[in-house]
Structure 1
């Protein structure tokens, strides 16, 4: 059987359409319900649907009054405050295209991006570096003054027109602007049952900052579109305080990256979370040991999702269909995906290949900003090539093997770094591990394991891996590190590890 999955496509996105108007439609149905609470152990800043929509539409009025034209880019330079989602949705409501960027970018970095983005306006929070351009700037104070302006109507239009742009590092390591259409939020409905099991009564606490796209989608837009309540930790909340917040604010769903789950589990959990139904994980592969430790500590399961900036998540486990390790999940109902060989033909189930998603998927990007050729290179016929290596089981379950450029070659066998890492994280002295192929001679490469935690004798680690991995999968080098390099989204940067080690041993 070929590694194809083709479910009935969902209903098409309505037209005319506005992403912000769709997300905040609950303001008319349940205006006094809590849409958002920014929570700490001592305080909760609560926003009802009515208050939230009023602020968003006020910002839309304010931006329109500055003379922007439909489709103009608005560069967001905001920190971890509620200003971020309000500015994001306000721009979209008025027909403009917000471009969120990390507040950690330096002035030279954001200046370079600004020359590429060519924004008509910058919205800036205090202390966030700005581009050295002549672009007009609205401060946080100016933005917040717009909250009380007379609300404007949503700018309705073609659901296929650009709605927002986000930046991703991509496989090449250089930032690329990913342009999404208004319809992208409609496609996210497939996650409600395919991943979240989200309903009107849920209170979803997301551990991420406002200006992370995982938080924006899973933590805010989806709960609001479904009429649920979003909970976001306030400034200064640490990972060890999250269990208290889950209990204190009756969270029913918890969403976080794997690293947050690991941080929480460093100390024994002593707080019960009776309202919690389950957890969600995305951003990188969730180690099975972390998943099991969370279940043992809380009595709840964690459901993993696999996706990318270009198409959000489209593979996931869920309470309605749990995935068994090592699989990350199943194609969400309504998706069409394939696992392809190097000739872009579907492989047989049980064989590794590159994950591809149909170009007909409503959640797929419009393209990379100012990179037409690079956009074309990601498509082959119907398929958008994700760059992820996976394996589809007979039942359709998808096991993640790593990025195509992260796959290792050992004696002619292709080896997944994820498989090696999953085996080694079971060692009691290891907290994190990254496996990659490094060159030790001009014509020789070996598998190396870079790890954090207690420094352990190589002989100990070699015998440990020999009990769990085939000979050709076992690392030949074990390198202890204080920390592993990661990108801004928290994902392991195996390429940087390989480059730094080879440079030091050239």
Structure 2
């Protein structure tokens, strides 16, 4: 396994890995259901033909190789078709969550120089609010309905040929541009080439998810996130499996019943989703005998979840660790012994280490920085238009993940925490700067600091320490007002679930806020509450 081949051929387009499964016209690619119980099915052949029609339509609209296309779609078939079509052209997909607000959309569009947008009809107003401020955007395609100033998806594909010659992209041509939060400054545009998918398939899809052709796979990530590129898109479709897609809110009973109804073989969801399902009463009434492989990523899994799923469904939930900037770096792969609470081991074919401040591997049992050697094929190619932040992400030949861990005598890694101030809540990566920036825009806020606060369900929640212009204005009503304000200014999932009004904030001699002190105080406070 150590000799696993992760380097793609010189010319490679990831869509070809999907389309090779279209030779059988009846082979299922997607099984879809929404909250109302409406269902749809799509074959690989249908996805191939529809994406060819869209690719032809996009070319007719002036989209060509290297152009950036922002895609803001929920869990609908148009997301799969749009990603495939853009990649076929050799254009670049800029995945964008449906949670993004106008300010977020404008930053990404202007920073990347986006040319076209494909958006859901319920989200077009957010783009309309800022479209005149981004001069590069000139093509606006809407899915699911009609909107003034937008061309409908159906109109774009109308009359177009079902044949399209996939662009013969080089493996090092850019395919994805995912934006991810940082501790300071604006989100960073993470550059991934087509070769990323080649390496990712070899590791995550086969050795971790254990996706086999003809499996039914449910990966719950939403389009717009790097995790959607990872699992629902390339791992599932690149393996010839059928992806189950649920367009609805998380509800444990519903999820469990869908797992039973669709006879799901492989499940990939967040630790938060697993934790809530594990606490559901009456688990014995669900027949999940088809469930073979269960994995989770985003934050450490607790033993209770692992034991519960093993007891009731005879499956072992296996942990995995990776980032927007890379692929599955560390995990409990199929067939490995599970050490509950451990991240697992570094994945084959990758060069991962725990290093010290000098860039040297640390001894067994010592805490250090999780790092990835720059030679790893699935590692990102830099942050777009940001050489300084790209350089800052490396320590010599090692990329720093921003997380710390220790290695035990058996080679298993154990997560210790973030080495920076990034917050991971329910699998979402949240930069404190973005929340702080939103809060200080409120007239009542003088200064603030945002940190992660431990939470038994979400792993961590966003907590804000706020200094008010008028300390006497502190109230429960103001807490709710500030929470709603943050939801309206930035993506709603980033809002602070706890707000504490304070008179001062810990700072360095140079005036920088010491979030580490606030984090440690929160950790101690929550620990005391559980005793």
- Shorter-chain TM range is 0.7 to 0.9
Task: Return the match for 1:174 from 175, 180, 186.
Answer: 186
Report how far residue 94 of structure 1 moved: 0.3
Give runs of aligned pairs for residues 278-297 of structure 1, distance below 5 A.
278-297=293-312
Superposed displacement of residue 237, structure 1: 6.4
Give 1:257 deviation, angstroms. 0.5
Q: Is 2:319 the counterpart of 1:320? A: no
1:268-347 alignment runs, 5 A limit: 268=281, 269=283, 270-347=285-362
Instruction: Give, in whole Å, the separation in 2 of the partners of 1:194 and 1:346.
Output: 26
2:471 matched to which residue of 1?
A: none
Structure 2 CA distance, aligned partners of 1:239 and 1:215? Answer: 21
Aligned residue among 135, 138, 141 for 1:138: 141
Q: Tell me if 1:59 matches 2:59.
A: no
Structure having the larger proportion of residues in helix: 2
Determine the structure 1 residue equivalent to 2:31.
37
- Structure 1 position 324, deviation (Å): 0.6
Distance 1:173 1:44, change over 3 A: farther
**SS of corresponding position for 2:90:** coil
Cα distance per residue 1:5-38 (max 9 Å; x no partner): x93351520231112222322113x332101111
Q: What residue number does 2:105 align with?
A: 110
Instruction: Provide the TM-score with structure 2 as the length reference.
Output: 0.75
Kindly indicate whether residue 231 of structure 2 is the aligned counterpart of residue 232 of structure 1: no
Residue of structure 2 aligned with 1:210, choices 223, 232, 249: 223
Q: What secondary structure sits across from 2:238 in the alignment?
A: helix
Q: Distance in 2 between matches of 1:173 and 1:286?
A: 30
Which residue, 222, 236, 251 being the options, matches 2:235? 222
Which SS does the other structure have where 2:98 is aligned? coil
Question: Residues of 2 paired with 1:123 and 1:272: CA distance?
Answer: 39
Contact 1:76 1:99 in 2 (8 A): yes
Partner of 1:357: 372
Q: Could you say what secondary structure the match of 2:122 adopts?
A: coil
Give 1:154's match in structure 2, choosing from 162, 166, 170.
Answer: 166
Any stretches of 5+ residues in structure 2 without a counterpart? 146-151, 423-453, 466-482, 506-531
Q: Is contact 1:23–1:222 with CA below 8 Å preserved after alignment? A: no
Kept after mapping to 1: 8 A contact 2:269/2:297: yes
Taking the aligned partners of 2:253 and 2:269, their CA distance within structure 1 comes to: 13
Aligned to 2:78: 83
Indicate the residue corresponding to 1:478 in structure 2.
none
| Offset, 1:265 | 2.8
Answer yes or no: is the 8 Å Cα contact 2:188–2:383 preserved in 1.
yes
Deviation at 1:503, TM superposition (A): 3.9
Counterpart of 1:381 in structure 2 is 396
Residue 312 of structure 1 and its aligned partner are, at CA, apart by 2.4
CA 1:193/1:77 → structure 2, altered by over 3 Å: closer, same or farther?
A: closer
Q: Which secondary structure does the structure 2 equivalent of 1:367 belong to?
A: coil
Q: 1:504 to 1:49 in 2, by over 3 A?
A: farther
Gaps of 5+ in 1: 1-5, 408-423, 440-481
Give the number of equivalent residue pairs: 432
> For 1:400, which of 408, 415, 418 is the aligned residue?
415
Q: Distance in 2 between matches of 1:26 and 1:391?
A: 42
Counterpart selection for 1:243 from 252, 256, 263: 256
Give the distance between the partners of 1:289 and 1:497, measured in 2 at CA.
25
- In 1, are the aligned partners of 2:6 and 2:377 still within 8 Å (CA)? no
Shift of 1:489: 11
Q: Which deviates more, 397-406 or 35-44?
A: 35-44
- Distance, in Å, in 2 between the alignment partners of 1:436 and 1:241 is 27
Distance 1:153 1:239, change over 3 A: farther
Secondary structure in 2 matching 1:373: helix
* Contact residue 296 and residue 317 of structure 2 kept, 8 A: yes
State whether residues 40 and 237 of structure 1, in contact with CA within 8 Å, keep that contact through their aligned partners in structure 2. no
Q: Counterparts in 2 of 1:7-26, with a 5 A limit? A: 7-26=2-21
Counterpart in 2 of 1:468? none
Deviation at 1:438, TM superposition (A): 11
Counterpart CA distance in 2 for 1:287 and 1:93 is: 41
SS for the counterpart of 1:263 is helix
**Range with greater deviation from structure 2 (358-367 or 202-211):** 202-211
1:33-74 CA-to-partner distances (Å, cap 9, x unmatched) read 101111358443111010011112221111111122321111
Aligned partners of 1:362, 1:431: CA distance in 2, in Å?
Answer: 35
TM-score (normalised: structure 1): 0.78
- Please report how far the alpha carbon of residue 157 of structure 1 lies from its aligned counterpart in structure 2 after TM superposition: 2.2
Could you tell me how far apart the structure 1 residues matched to 2:83 and 2:206 are?
Answer: 26
More displaced, 136-145 or 355-364? 136-145
Distance 2:399 2:27 in 1: 40
Superposed CA offset, 1:377-396 (max 9, x none): 21233211111101112222
Change (3 A) 1:152 1:100: same
Equivalent residues of 2:252, 2:277 under 8 A apart = yes
Out of 293-302 and 253-262, give the one that drifted further: 293-302
Once the two structures are superposed, what CA deviation does each residue of 1:276-309 show, in whole Å capped at 9, x if it has no partner?
Answer: 1131101222223233233333221101110110
Give SS of 1:24's match.
Answer: helix
